[in-house]
């Protein structure tokens, strides 16, 4: 089917939303549409839509805008926690791998046996490009002093320029025994830790691209540890992983190891208290979530 819808002016966009039942001052709505794209705002209007595309009674711009600003603040909170977890995970993975395989061990496929030849070649090419284009002072110094004999950086330098995705590939590629040694620092199985890092990487990308997070159904979900060894994820509150509450709980759990002094959990609670009108059930929060031992 050919797409034939024309571009609308900000005024026409506002009139369309008002005609569908959105309650708003027209001038205020136009000013908001000038700074927030119509389709971005529509994502926050969607829960209020009826089947005929009209909006439910009482749908106000103020109500929708509060959900929008809540989500923006939530993304910043999540990014802050992910940064701490990512830095800690890089430090731990690089530390263990460097001591097991040497500073340049990652350049040998025998040390990344879980990657096939194509995956390893792609990973090494990405690392080569990252190193080549880096303008960090320590990278330039290394190239100047050691570049004639070394194409790649030692692991502890590489950790500072590699992406989260490259970190995941590195972790995926190492021997199971090394994965287990790293995961043991969080008291979970290696497959659980990998699923957490993978999910956090996706969540980080959503936040970095300003995507809607608060009521999103997660496509890549963090694995919940088994109940027998980790009852705190099940009793008296079951932590589900399909929405952001599961991810927030993973972050809270990991911060307990890598940043126990952080006031991040308090800031999560504070954000929820500032926006009591935002339904947290859409985020996967159970009614009694504060009784979860991980959050107490």
Angle between helices 26-33 and 61-101 (to 10 degrees): 20
CA dist., res. 167 & res. 159, Å (int): 8
If pLDDT is split at 50, 70 and 90, which confidence band does 296 have?
confident
pLDDT in tens, 203-219: 999 999 999 999 999 99
- Mean model confidence pLDDT for the chain: 95
Question: 193 exposed, middle or buried (CB, 10 Å; 0-12, 13-18, 19+)?
Answer: buried
1 pLDDT tier (thresholds 50, 70, 90): confident
Q: Which residues contact 49 (CB under 8 A, 6 or more apart)?
A: 55, 56
DSSP one-letter string for 113-137 = TTS-HHHHHHHHHHHHHHHHH---H
Q: Is the pTM of this model over 0.85?
A: yes
- The answer to whether 167 touches 86, Cβ cutoff 8 Å, is yes
Selection from 41, 106, 117 nearest residue 72 by Cα: 41
**Which positions ≥6 away from 239 have C-beta within 8 Å?**
224, 233, 245, 246, 249, 292, 294
Per-residue pLDDT tens over the stretch 262-280: 999 999 999 999 999 999 9
Say if CB 271 and CB 214 are below 8 A apart.
Answer: no
Q: Could you say which DSSP state residue 240 is in?
A: -
Tell me: pLDDT of 4 over 90: no
The two tokens of residue 127 are 């690392």
CB half-sphere exposure, 7, CA atoms < 13 A? 3
- Rounded to an integer, the average pLDDT of 179-199 is 96
CA 87 – CA 257 distance, rounded (Å): 13
Rg for the chain (alpha carbons), in Å? Answer: 23
pLDDT category, 133, cuts 50, 70, 90? very high
Q: What tokens does 30 get?
A: 């136009």
pLDDT band (50, 70, 90) for residue 2: confident
């Amino acid at each position: 089917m050919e797409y034939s819808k024309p571009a609308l002016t900000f005024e026409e966009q506002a009139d369309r939303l008002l005609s569908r039942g959105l309650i708003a001052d027209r001038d205020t709505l136009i000013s908001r549409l000038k700074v927030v794209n119509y389709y971005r705002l529509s994502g926050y209007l969607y829960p209020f839509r009826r089947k005929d595309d009209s909006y439910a009674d009482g749908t106000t711009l103020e109500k929708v805008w509060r959900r929008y600003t809540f989500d923006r603040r939530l993304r910043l909170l999540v990014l802050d926690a992910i940064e701490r977890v990512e830095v800690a995970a890089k430090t731990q993975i690089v530390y263990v791998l460097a001591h097991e395989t040497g500073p340049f061990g990652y350049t040998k496929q025998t040390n990344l046996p879980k990657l096939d030849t194509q995956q390893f070649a792609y990973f090494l090419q990405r690392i080569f490009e990252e190193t080549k284009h880096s303008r960090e002072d320590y990278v330039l110094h290394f190239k100047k002093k050691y570049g004639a004999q070394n194409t790649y950086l030692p692991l502890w330098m590489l950790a500072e320029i590699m992406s989260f995705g490259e970190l995941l590939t590195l972790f995926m590629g190492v021997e199971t025994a090394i994965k287990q040694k790293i995961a043991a620092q969080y008291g979970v199985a290696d497959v659980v830790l990998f699923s957490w890092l993978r999910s956090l990487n996706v969540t980080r990308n959503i936040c970095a691209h300003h995507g809607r997070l608060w009521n999103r159904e997660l496509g890549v979900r963090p694995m919940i540890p088994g109940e027998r060894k980790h009852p705190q994820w099940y009793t008296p509150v079951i932590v589900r992983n399909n929405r952001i509450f599961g991810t927030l709980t993973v972050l809270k759990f990991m911060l307990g190891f890598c940043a126990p002094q952080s006031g991040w959990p308090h800031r999560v609670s504070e954000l929820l208290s500032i926006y009591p009108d935002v339904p947290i059930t859409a985020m996967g929060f159970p009614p009694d979530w504060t009784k979860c031992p991980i959050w107490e």
